[in-house]
Structure 1
Amino acid sequence: MISNRKRPRVLSTDGHSSVSNDTATNSTNLSDTPPFSHHHHHHHSQQSQQQQQQMPILSDTSTDSSNSSFSFYKPLLKSSKIESSMFTNPFLSIHDRNGIQLPEYGDDDDNEEDEEDEISDNVLDNDDDDNYAIEDDDEEVDEDEIVDIEDDDDDIEEIDGFDNDDDIIFIEQRQLPKRNSDSLLYDTQALEAYNKFRSNKNNNNKKKLPPARIKKQRTNSLPQLPQAKCIYNKLPNYILQGPKLGNIRTNVIPHQLNLPPCVDESGHYIVKPNTLFANRFIIIKLLGQGTFGKVVQCFDKVKNEHVAIKIIRNIQKYRDAAKIELRVLSTLKKFDPDNTNHCIHLRECFDYRGHICIVTDLLKISLYDFLENNKYIGFPGSQIQSIAKQLIRTVCFLHDLGIIHTDLKPENVLLKDDSYHKLKITSSTMTSAYLALKNDKRPVKFSKILSLTDIYVIDFGSSIFDSEYHSSVVSTRHYRAPEIIFNCGWSFAIDLWSVGCILVELIIGEPLFKTHHDQEHLHMIQKISGETIDRKMVLMCKKQGHKVGEYFDDNCRLIELEEPKFIQSVAQLDRIDKFISKRLGINLDLNLSLEENYDLNRDNQEEDDDKDEEDDFDENKILFYYYFVDLLQSLLKINPQERITAEEAMNHPWFDLGTIDEGIV
């Protein structure tokens, strides 16, 4: 749900929970893995295209959803050839882009008129009468069970678990493809680096590591953060093509007519601890409050357990929005009854005294709350990798069902278990990130380290089915994709942008885009991406007469900032690889090869006389964060058609690399 960035403490809980963490340790012969270049969103395989064509239309409304498409990003054939040697970064997907012409940037006046004619057909009509979403831009709108798959090829995957609807008929049983790509690498350069990493071999011209350091290097017997090794089983099309869920019926709970008023002037339910609610629950405490309503912790007298109840405001537009949320939650439970994809599960729903109530599991605090309680010290790289894998798998599952979350942020990612232990910080990257955040010369000595990293995504109050109506303004400002700012139509890609912003915040301890103004935000986005904002997006925005078009000149270039505060905030940023490496105290450049990045850091290490002997050059650390930053760059592409998809992100080689830090206990 859209909310102001004043960080409402939503769904922080104290309930007891336990975590069961299974691991999948599949060993794959990398030499048998054919090199495969990493594709972007508009380079799907033929099979993926067929799957998308067979995706059911999840809509029971007649509302047009043309603004969820990106017709102005139609790829054009190009006969010219691109020299692959010019692009040393293995995952920029330029190697396989020989037949595609990218959006051109510049001020070609001869083509501008044609472009405007083409765009005029794609301009989206905005419907101001929206009962399903809140569009107040001034008020900033504001689970991980690992599925074990047997290695026996003769086994047939059981799919009967999906048959929760009598309308779905299974004609035959077929073996579902194993989607665990964690042990695969898709690029020759990455394959060489990975094999080098595994075999602990060093070139003759490199400094030999002492035996103690060699033992710490990753080998086949070294555990590689098992909670990051997750498996995702893509749902077959014939399962997805079952009948779509309609509106969910909510039972009305009777109540006495002589009860005192329970609603305030804003339509919020008046929460009173230790009182009876809906004739069944005892209200324990208020967990959080937002535009949609309130979330309370309750004790269920029937089931003898604690739950969380979301009490929707007694106002019609919020009741209508809650009906969409119930459809989304019911769909998630239908297709994932065992909750292996980290989404909050719907227990039940009812209507009490004019308030729709949604009962869910009671979880722990959010990622943001944990950061705040830990003095904004970033998470260890190994735990960020685990959280990222689960989060991306959740997004992949949602997108397979045609659902867009639209409001992913650290506040909406809850921990199943928030227990921790205090450890002395030994990683130079964590220390550097904290010093850069606090602008303090005194390094932090201890940090709270999560015991387990199981997460669940919550708050589907602003989620939609892609085939249905799209509000013009969605997402909390700091995690809002550029296509939303331009009002040029948005779709699944906005969730991937939000994931990129979340991962950056987990490592540096603060939001990447700390702004509440469109002009400042666009300058920040352009600085972080290292590329010019798409000319066609600007032209379309100008054609609609949107206010954002005023921030660009006649050549579709951003007008220079005049506000000193904006200038200062943008100046603190840099291209994502340089920005992250500066915060971590290492040197990363995605324009250079991996080997060149090794040499760059080795040379800087030798020049720095202040470094302790135990801080010698760590090739493994450079390898790990090089691919981490590469993933971030793919997630933060300005053009949504070039942005990596959730399924592609799951297959990124970063998830095949391990690191030894405070998160490995």
Structure 2
Amino acid sequence: MFPVRAPIVPKYGMIVHPPRRKVQVNNPPLPPLNPMITIPITKPVKSARVPKMKEKLPEQIIFTGRINPLEALSKYPFLLTDREHSEILHYDDIYYIRLAPPHNTPQPKSTPNYFHFVPNDHIAYRYQQLEVLGKGSFGTVIKCLDHKTKELVAIKFLRDTKKVHDEILFENKIISRLQDGENSSTSGIIRYIESFSFREFFCIVMELLWKDTYTVLEARHFVGYSKNIIKMVAYQSAKALDFMHKHNIVHCDIKPENIMFITEQKKNIKIIDFGCSCFSGEIMFTYIQSRFYRAPEVVLGIEYDREIDIWSLGCVLCELVTGRPLFDADTQIDLLAMIIETIGEPPKSMLDRGSYTKKFFDGRNLKIQYNKDVRIPGPPKSRSLEAELNVSDAQFIDLILGCLKWEPSERYTAEELMNHPFLADYRSGL
């Protein structure tokens, strides 16, 4: 299913090798032998001064899949920490603990906001930690082996504090909504398996995908993708957005890192990470989207909706063609300047609606403080999209310009993108 190999695990569990223990035995010196005395051959008698050896652990210990907590405590106490001797009783089924006694396992460091990764340690006595897949402000994602299903999965760990508890529950609500109903399995949305709390973290178990489009682009030294892959990403991303939008969900963070190839063959993608998502008409955050992909209504402080995802997708497709962001702005005012250079000035009606308009505009002019560190913007529409993308395909340019409209209501919908002429041959091959 995936290009990575799963670790070799016996059919019915794991093999644990206990550590070798050195026991020093101090025997008393033997008295000189008297040749006239015959000593009968009997079993040796241990001196009272010889310490009793503990029963040696067997060379191989077989962990036979699912067991109950009491059996784990009875048979494998050496695999548990002091804390786990009581913690394990809160679990009904035990599928995995670890590969070695915990005194051979690195102890967690003080990392209050991130889950501490320990290779081969357990998560909730079921998942085996294998590799860190990603780490950021959202938390940590770790590749794990599910010892119940024998499948590789990705687990997202979110620090469950009072400050973010409601946000975590809301993300879980969004995820649950996207897994319900018809076509959820073919929606282009990452499949969520389960969620639970483990110690101080909220854990979301997801299917394991290959790599995101940015990571692969970076590995290609930022050489853009082929036209066929661009069409696949465009169509399948639009299909995923159409599914979300029809469920009244706005993703709010479409970017190359959140579009993942399912396998190394790069035939299909899925959309991930709903930590910034919201329901249509229920704005939760005013500062959203990564700057390179931020829609102008967000910058200007205008109420936003699903159209911001369409703007972001247009920016992403340009980056996947050239290998660099279309609007690689350092600041929000620089972002507005680059947008004006590309698609012209914003309509007055839009500026009038913006609660942040006066922060960036003096009448119709941008408030740019010119100095040696500030890029001097060109006139409106002085930046040719065809030249920037080095693309002469009129249909592709039309698709991008249909995403990059100042007025949200004038942009393509996700469904219109799916039916765009640029994607006609891709649709016919489905």
Tell me the TM-score normalized by structure 2.
0.71
- 1:646 paired residue among 392, 414, 418: 414
Residue 496 of structure 1 is matched in structure 2 by 310
Per-residue Cα deviation, 1:586-642 (whole angstroms, up to 9, x for no partner): 6x5xxxxxxxxxxxxxxxxxxxxxxxxxxxxxxxxxxxx101100100100011121
Is 1:290 equivalent to 2:136 in the alignment? Answer: yes
- What letter matches 1:385 in structure 2? K
Per-residue Cα deviation, 1:209-264 (whole angstroms, up to 9, x for no partner): xxxxxxxxxxxxxxxxxxxxxxxxxxxxxxxxxxxxxxxxxxxxx8259x998573
Maintained 8 Å contact 2:341/2:379 = no
Residue 200 of structure 2 is matched in structure 1 by 354
- What letter matches 1:627 in structure 2? Q
Maintained 8 Å contact 2:212/2:257 = yes
Maintained 8 Å contact 1:389/1:655 = yes
Counterparts of residues 86-105 of structure 1 (less than 5 Å)? none
Residue 113 of structure 2 is matched in structure 1 by 267
How many Å apart are 1:399 and its aligned residue? 0.2
Equivalent-residue separation in structure 2 for 1:270 and 1:572 (angstroms): 51
Equivalent-residue separation in structure 2 for 1:348 and 1:502 (angstroms): 30
Residue 466 of structure 1 is matched in structure 2 by 280
Per-residue Cα deviation, 1:354-378 (whole angstroms, up to 9, x for no partner): 2110000011011001111111111
Q: Counting strand residues as a fraction of each chain, which structure ranks higher?
A: 2
Go from structure 1 to structure 2 and tell me whether the alpha carbon gap of 1:572 and 1:538 turns closer, same or farther (over 3 Å shift): closer
Q: Secondary structure at the match of 2:197?
A: strand
Q: Secondary structure at the match of 2:366?
A: coil
Maintained 8 Å contact 1:15/1:306 = no
Equivalent-residue separation in structure 2 for 1:573 and 1:478 (angstroms): 19
Q: Secondary structure at the match of 2:309?
A: helix
Residue 181 of structure 2 is matched in structure 1 by 335
How many Å apart are 1:553 and its aligned residue? 1.8
Maintained 8 Å contact 2:293/2:327 = yes
Counterparts of residues 14-29 of structure 1 (less than 5 Å)? 15=4
Is 1:536 equivalent to 2:368 in the alignment? Answer: no
Residue 130 of structure 1 is matched in structure 2 by none
Maintained 8 Å contact 2:253/2:288 = yes
Counterparts of residues 121-200 of structure 1 (less than 5 Å)? none
Equivalent-residue separation in structure 2 for 1:317 and 1:454 (angstroms): 37
How many Å apart are 1:286 and its aligned residue? 1.1
Larger C-alpha radius of gyration, 1 or 2? Answer: 2
Maintained 8 Å contact 1:268/1:314 = no
Residue 94 of structure 1 is matched in structure 2 by none
Residue 512 of structure 1 is matched in structure 2 by 326
Residue 298 of structure 2 is matched in structure 1 by 484
Equivalent-residue separation in structure 1 for 2:171 and 2:158 (angstroms): 11
Residue 87 of structure 2 is matched in structure 1 by 255
Residue 580 of structure 1 is matched in structure 2 by 386
Residue 65 of structure 1 is matched in structure 2 by none
Q: Percent identity?
A: 30
Q: Secondary structure at the match of 1:317?
A: coil
Go from structure 1 to structure 2 and tell me whether the alpha carbon gap of 1:572 and 1:500 turns closer, same or farther (over 3 Å shift): farther
Per-residue Cα deviation, 1:428-482 (whole angstroms, up to 9, x for no partner): xxxxxxxxxxxxxxxxxxxxxxx44200110011111114343111111111100
Gaps of 5+ in 1: 1-12, 18-253, 419-450, 589-624, 659-663
Gaps of 5+ in 2: 7-85, 90-101
Equivalent-residue separation in structure 2 for 1:401 and 1:508 (angstroms): 33
Maintained 8 Å contact 1:267/1:315 = no
Tell me the TM-score normalized by structure 1.
0.47
Per-residue Cα deviation, 1:4-56 (whole angstroms, up to 9, x for no partner): xxxxxxxxx96469xxxxxxxxxxxxxxxxxxxxxxxxxxxxxxxxxxxxxxx
Maintained 8 Å contact 2:130/2:143 = yes
Equivalent-residue separation in structure 2 for 1:331 and 1:575 (angstroms): 44
Go from structure 1 to structure 2 and tell me whether the alpha carbon gap of 1:337 and 1:316 turns closer, same or farther (over 3 Å shift): farther
Equivalent-residue separation in structure 2 for 1:566 and 1:261 (angstroms): 48
Q: Secondary structure at the match of 2:410?
A: coil
- What letter matches 1:303 in structure 2? T
- What letter matches 1:633 in structure 2? L
The root-mean-square deviation of aligned C-alpha atoms, in Å, is 2.7
- What letter matches 2:360 in structure 1? Y
- 1:310 paired residue among 156, 160, 183: 156
Go from structure 1 to structure 2 and tell me whether the alpha carbon gap of 1:582 and 1:540 turns closer, same or farther (over 3 Å shift): closer
Number of matched pairs: 332
Is 1:523 equivalent to 2:337 in the alignment? Answer: yes
Per-residue Cα deviation, 1:136-160 (whole angstroms, up to 9, x for no partner): xxxxxxxxxxxxxxxxxxxxxxxxx
How many Å apart are 1:382 and its aligned residue? 2.0
How many Å apart are 1:313 and its aligned residue? 1.1
Q: Secondary structure at the match of 1:339?
A: helix
Q: Secondary structure at the match of 1:522?
A: helix
Maintained 8 Å contact 1:267/1:314 = no
* Greater RCO, 1 or 2 (C-alpha within 8 Å, sep 6+): 1
- What letter matches 2:346 in structure 1? I
Maintained 8 Å contact 2:3/2:263 = no
Equivalent-residue separation in structure 1 for 2:368 and 2:255 (angstroms): 30
